[in-house]
A and B are shown apart, each in its own frame.
Chain A
């Protein structure tokens, strides 16, 4: 006590403890922002269901641009691209196929896709494209149609694996779900265009992505 000069160093152990505790907490609770081509601000709701694994996700941004994403697994994504390439007579090389199987959602026509796949991910964001969905060139419909087929196929494989372990497993959980991620400020007309395509394919059970409501109290 008397010797004040002797203790200029502070014991940092508790601080380090605290800091690492927080680091551990954030590491475990964090889920990283996925590398989406656009930032979409979804509206909030009281819904509390989580996004399933096997989904076809259509993103609609503020200006009404449409993006397509499919998370049925790498093999399923490759098969999907092969089917689309076959239908639209577009050539993809092996590298592009590999790249497609790892990519998140994209917004461009099939004809542009080989070029798009060769780009760096930063460059892709600058491209202001959208998936064609007008009646003469309805590529989105084909993406959804083939995506659904591939999703069902890959879901079935996963279901059979799970059913071997637990016979109570329901097939329904492994079927692809259809998800609309629409910006709150986008006109509903834009979302409706996509919804009509789903309905044309007889896929009527859709899901909207929403963020959890902050203060809203029930009843």
Chain B
């Protein structure tokens, strides 16, 4: 304001020009201070990884008055999880002395991560994974539409050849172990996942393995 007043006071042209030139430069230091303060604040308070959700359908509780028929599951694998350890057996469970005269079930140990469960599952669930590859190729060459592709994958997962997975956890298993396994199942396109209770006979086998 004072400058303007002076300018209007009738000075010579040259002087006026010089005064204007001198005042164009603003001291930006406070501005920079503020900018970096805000920057630091946002960097520290923001969370980048938005939480995601993984849906999982649990089997419905059996109603007391409705009798459920024993379903024959022909292509199943059962995973048993304990404290950071994972075991599995294929097919049905047979105790040490069973009526059918089958050999008793043995637990095999595997590991979380790419070399353990993932390799095992990709081997056992070949029919679905190969079918998915074919569908994907068709989708890429535009022979089928996206919704046909998705329903195709759904059918594949429900087919008889597709692997069914049962998950049983003992009282020492961590949630992380469980989620890791479900994650591997998702990666390998397993359609039927059933978290069920551990049988006492299985607990015995597991205890023997853990010793």
Point out residues on A near B: beta carbons under 8 Å: 9, 12-13, 15-16, 19-20, 22-23, 26-27, 29-33, 42-51, 60, 177, 179, 181-192, 195, 198-200, 202, 204-213, 218-219
Given known contacts A19-B35, A23-B39, A50-B52, what 14 new A-B pairs fall within 8 Å (CB)?
A: A22-B39, A30-B46, A32-B46, A45-B52, A185-B175, A185-B176, A189-B169, A202-B60, A205-B58, A206-B58, A208-B54, A210-B53, A211-B52, A219-B187
Shortest distance between the CB of B75 and any CB in chain A (Å): 21
**A199 to B52 alpha-carbon distance, docked (Å):** 22
**A41 to B45 alpha-carbon distance, docked (Å):** 17
Q: Which single member of A45, A184, A200 contacts B182 (CB below 8 Å)?
A: A45
Shortest distance between the CB of A62 and any CB in chain B (Å): 10
Point out residues on B near A: beta carbons under 8 Å: 25, 28-29, 31-32, 35-36, 38-39, 42-43, 45-61, 81, 122, 169, 171-180, 182-183, 186-187, 195
CB within 8 Å for A209 and B52 given contacts A19-B32, A200-B61: yes
CB within 8 Å for A184 and B176 given contacts A50-B53, A200-B61, A206-B56: yes
**Which residues of B have CB within 8 Å of A207?**
53-56
Shortest distance between the CB of A212 and any CB in chain B (Å): 6
CB within 8 Å for A204 and B51 given contacts A12-B28, A16-B28, A19-B35: no
**Which residues of B have CB within 8 Å of A189?**
169, 171, 173
**A44 to B183 alpha-carbon distance, docked (Å):** 9
* Interface majority SS (helix, strand, loop, mixed), chain A: mixed
- A212 pairs with B57, CB closer than 8 A: no
- B39 pairs with A179, CB closer than 8 A: no
- B57 pairs with A205, CB closer than 8 A: yes
- B46 pairs with A26, CB closer than 8 A: yes
- B53 pairs with A12, CB closer than 8 A: no
9 A-B residue contacts at CB 8 Å?
A13-B28, A19-B39, A27-B38, A45-B54, A47-B183, A60-B175, A198-B58, A211-B49, A218-B187
**A12 to B35 alpha-carbon distance, docked (Å):** 12
- A16 pairs with B32, CB closer than 8 A: yes
**A183 to B43 alpha-carbon distance, docked (Å):** 25
Q: 10 closest A-B pairs (Cβ-Cβ)?
A: A30-B46, A26-B42, A184-B176, A19-B35, A47-B54, A12-B28, A207-B53, A45-B183, A43-B179, A43-B176
- B50 pairs with A50, CB closer than 8 A: yes
**Which residues of A have CB within 8 Å of B25?**
9
